[in-house]
Structure 1
Amino acid sequence: MHVSRRALVRAISGVSVLAVVGLAAAVWFVYEPEIAPIARPDKASFDEAVVKRGEQLATVGDCIVCHTADGGKPFAGSRPLPTPFGTLYSGNITPDEATGIGHWSETAFDRAMKQGVARDGSNLYPALPYEHFTHVTDDDLHAVYAFLMTREAVSLTAPANKLIPGLGFRPLLAGWKLLFLHETSVQPDPSQNAEWNRGKYLVEGLAHCGGCHTPRNVAGGEELGSEFEGGVAEGWVAPALTARNPSASTWTQASLFNYLKTGSDENHSAAAGPMAAVTEGLSRLNDPDVKAISVYIAYKMHEGEPSVISDPSTIDNATQAANENSVGAHLFQGACAGCHGIGAPMADQARASLSTVTDLKLNDPTNAAMAILQGVSAPSGKGPYMPPFAGNLTDKEIVELLAYVRSRFTASPAWTKLESSVTSARREAQAQ
């Protein structure tokens, strides 16, 4: 087929124009302008009542946990945040001008929180859960901004992120946000009361519970249609906050409130792993907001039907479990029975029986293994404490012990791939 030179030139020109237009569109989408720096606001310029409200809202958002390194100054950042794509280090959100957000206007702060874009126009990683913060009202973000701008200014630059090669190229995040960032508000349900709607707003917004308790796809985006069906956080399993939770039938609004406020509940044991830090923060949150959160989560767990709530039942198949696993029974007697055996002192202190612990009922043994390896500390300084056994028990011994307690204290089938799960849990614990 003969093509004239003029036609060929026109075709090439057309393709070139399309390429230029496409490139321009891509650049336009990726590009975010810098927002001019401002002089650091005077603390006295913020209303005291607004600052106090911002403190409570920042507590809901768990800001201090992610933005405070071990032994570091509050909100100064540099905390390592492990992800499947490498390690991120949280930023400094104190009002330091050089290394923090002291030069950030409220407009710049709002853009970062809702669109994941820093003051200088660079894209922020979704470890900052802006896909949830986008649901927060401007008035509440104003209060959080006022609170942060009245904190102690700390000069500290976070270490460089350690990511899989290529993922440090921040413009890629614009594509991620195109797929997974949906800028919407939380709409109240007129069929529910104000407390329920407050709980929904907090859970789906600042509290960003779905950030951990929702499964994610290979790109790290939350799976639509699977909200609150369970996820992973810092190597721990974040159980479902729906009826799929194996302990859903025994979670009540009252027990959820107690657990969130104190870090433990006599019918559900103690918070561990990342959840321990969450409950430590919520211990400082006002009771009405904690109650609203517990009301909404209880509704999700029971699909709006409180009648399905049942009393926890105690399971103790000691004889059968010992006959099936004498090694595990021996290890339990030596390492665990002093606290978890029948008549143990812990049982007389309103502590939960192992038969009520969600981690032992999950299909994945990761949390149970992590608890043995790392131990459990009461978030508020009061309540259950379990020492770490990483240096006392081998992986093989932990496998035997977990198989035994699963058989003795639950009606669930034996865990599969228990050996590899324990090996992975130890590797994860050592990396933290």
Structure 2
Amino acid sequence: MPPAPFDTLPSELIERILLFCDVYDAANLALTSRTVRRLIYQSEDQYFWRELFLSRPFDDLRKAPPPLTTQKPALQPDWKTGLQRRVSADAVVRNGTTGPRLHRALETLVAAVETALPVSDGPGADESENLKWLDTLLRSATFDEESLPLHEQQLLGRLMSYLALTYESGESRTAETPQLRLTRNEMRRTSRCYVYDLRRYKEDTLWGPFMRGEKGELRANWVHMQHIVNVVAMKLHELPGLALQIYNKPRAGISATQAYSAPFAHERKPHDWAGVAGTWRRFVCFMDYRDLFAFNFSVSGTGPRERTFFDDDYQEAIRPVELHLDVLDPSTSESSTEPSEPPSHAARYPPLFFKGLSRGAHSADAAVEGSVRVLADGSVRWSFVTKYDGLTQWSAEGLQIGNICSAAGVGGIWTGAFHEDADPAGPFWMWKMPSALEPGFNA
């Protein structure tokens, strides 16, 4: 039987035609043509898949920031697997598919954030196609979070932590994130119940938004982070527009998760890979101690930790704090007391130690000491204490939101430094400032 006319075309022309096809169409055509199958699946290189990947609205994988996990990065991107997984993830999320395919899809969406185009210090465009695709996809998605297994809840919580940054103060929304399909009060009540539950703060989780892996290693608890960001973001949303302008609200949108999107990210010292040094704006939320105690321990009425405790009119307090941080020289930094990462990873992202000053609107200046390090799962942990007159009073444990040096900043939990039974706890969120505020920034 003579070959089909299409198969007689030069391979270069066939490849060019296929690049205009949808991935599914190209795969279906490979089922009917040996020539196409050979070009797509049996080529000695990934030229075709690279060109097909780059013809789609995705960022170039070769420009992705170095991975934060201890896994050794691949010498060459896997264009074929990358494209197939993203196309599949798109279909899974849009169709509301559940089960193993959803888990794989959520992993793929998280990877899209991790491989998003970093912000450069040059004149070129820095908009991330990955993040634009992801934002559009998730705005039209629906998830039944409570029915998901724990590992999928963690992946979804990570994505929702990023999307919660799309709040707009004093402006109407034209597109709601999946979280906001719940009533605002319902979501806020759920997050408050989670964040202000003092049972969550214990030695095993280092009194922060962490959990333990199968081997006992410390990992990020992104469900916890999702609720932290919800509580602080919704409280910020209530502030008058002028107040947020005075305090310099963070850059909104998922693009704030891009690597090196924070102010002065490209002017940091060579060893300051996390962009620690500089001025930070930190917002701290807290319940009145009597309310916190009643919520956690009261047995009158409906009992402790009931959602009804937070009625629609309940208000916690919020305070702005300005941090001025300096990274210590690696040659003089204190040695870490925790196990170090493998040499190849430690060379890229060694533990950082910092000191600085905390200046609150209603409190005396305090000294700050802390560290930044990468956890085994690739999350970036921030840990610091606050000292007044040389006495340690408060501690804070947080996680970087998005990629390193992102404008999204760091969210976490503050509590008493000595972790006594009666210590209060609450959420905070902080981000890098474009410049230091003038003295007397109190509102």
Give the structure with the larger helix fraction: 1
Report TM bin, short chain: under 0.3
Higher RCO (CA 8 Å, separation ≥ 6 residues): 2
TM-score normalised to structure 2 length:
0.27
